Chain A
Amino acid sequence: MDQHLHDVNQMPYLAKAITRILVIDDDANVARAIQAILARHQCDTVIASRAHAGIHAFQASQFDLVMVDLFMPGMNGLDTITRIRSESVVPIIAMSGFRLRNSLDADKDFLGMAKLRGATTLLRKPFSPPQLVAAIDRGLGLLPSAGESIQ
């Protein structure tokens, strides 16, 4: 993955520091796509396809931002957020393919739950490259937070 990292053409004249991002998603293809896009934005992306592996990776290294899929087998995304938040103030982007509020079940407000557990911002799947980059900038505090920050 290191060959993606240094793109001379995209390097701004005032070189930005490399942003280290941890992506926790059980769909490895999604994580790889995120990695490929972010490689062009001076981001070093580490992929974990299970919640536990992600937490291990998080503890073993330093990250500027963590992206977590809310729905994963085993330990779910919400628990992962809780766990990471208990150890760190790192910005966390919660990703979800589902509508974040369930009209039938008021308890299933994933947006509220994720925020309550400590997610910084939320990103609804499927998202576009600009949405991805904007969510990360927002997470890093480079852009003002735009409410729910979905779509």
Chain B
Amino acid sequence: MKRSENRAGHPNYPKHMGAGGQQAEDIEIGRPSPERTRAANEVGSAIAHQLNGPLTALRLYIGEIRQNGGSFRESAEAQSHMQQMVEAAFQETERVCAMMRVIADSFEGPLYPETAAALGRDVISWWSRCGGTESGQANARGPAEAACLALLTPREREVLGHVSQGCSNKQGAARMQIGPRTFESHRARLMRKLGARNGADLVRIALGEAR
């Protein structure tokens, strides 16, 4: 596991994911506490349990449609079966969306909207550190990281490049021919967007995303 720090100390960290908001525990860096791990498991399982039903039904309908789409014209019976599958798939899609709204509504909105995707990635990697799936981890991270990267402006991406090459604020600013303060403000925004706790964290995320 690459990102081994507990990011609970980060101001943008979703507090509701923690167990009872124990301050002392938030400060502690290292392995997540059993309480925190359990809370992650509870929230994760609840969400997984909610979504599993409609996703199972949806996968069955879509699978059937994909496999038998060609038989649409064969007979009235096959046609009626396919229409039922399409209608049911649509209903299940609506059900997943309704559930997603409920899940999203039951969590506090992000403090900074632009950090939402970064937090999503944070929660996923944190979740995998807490004992989430070992195998699913690599897959789960991919899209969220891509979403994070997509949030960056070209300027911020340029700053990220210099930072990941080990440039100081001064060196980076000189390379980009901008003031050190401007470079710093780009860098600060970058860190907020990517959910990085410090410079080292930012570099690690940058290197991860460059892959």
Contact = CB atoms under 8 A, between A and B. Distances in A.
Interface of A: 4, 7-9, 27, 29-30, 32-34, 36-37, 39-40, 71, 97-99, 102-104, 125-130, 132
Nearest to B89: A33
Contacts of A132: 60
Contacts of A30: 53, 56-57
B56 A33 contact: yes
Most chain A CB inside 10 Å of its own CB: which residue of B58, B61, B63: B63
- Interface size grouping (class) on chain B: 20 to 34
B52 A125 contact: yes
A104 B31 CA distance: 13
A21 to B, nearest CB: 14
A98 B45 contact: yes
A67 to B, nearest CB: 12
Contacts of A99: 133
B88 interface: yes
A33 B60 contact: yes
B135 to A, nearest CB: 9
A102 B92 CA distance: 29
Given A8-B77, A36-B61, A37-B60, A129 B48 contact: no
B85 interface: yes
B62 to A, nearest CB: 9
A127 B56 contact: yes
A129 B52 contact: no
B139 interface: no
A80 B84 CA distance: 31
B61 A97 contact: no
Contact of A36 (B45, B48, B60, B133): B60
Nearest to B134: A103
B77 A127 contact: no
B15 interface: no
B6 interface: no
Given A7-B81, A29-B92, A30-B57, A36 B64 contact: yes
B67 A129 contact: yes
Contacts of B57: 27, 29-30, 32-33
Nearest to A97: B52
Nearest to B80: A3
Nearest to A27: B53
Given A8-B77, A40-B81, A97-B48, A129 B64 contact: yes
A125 B56 contact: yes
B41 interface: yes
Given A30-B56, A127-B59, A129-B63, 13 more contacts: A27-B53, A33-B88, A36-B81, A36-B85, A37-B63, A97-B49, A98-B45, A98-B49, A99-B133, A125-B56, A126-B58, A128-B59, A132-B60
B48 A126 contact: no
Most chain A CB inside 10 Å of its own CB: which residue of B53, B63, B133: B53
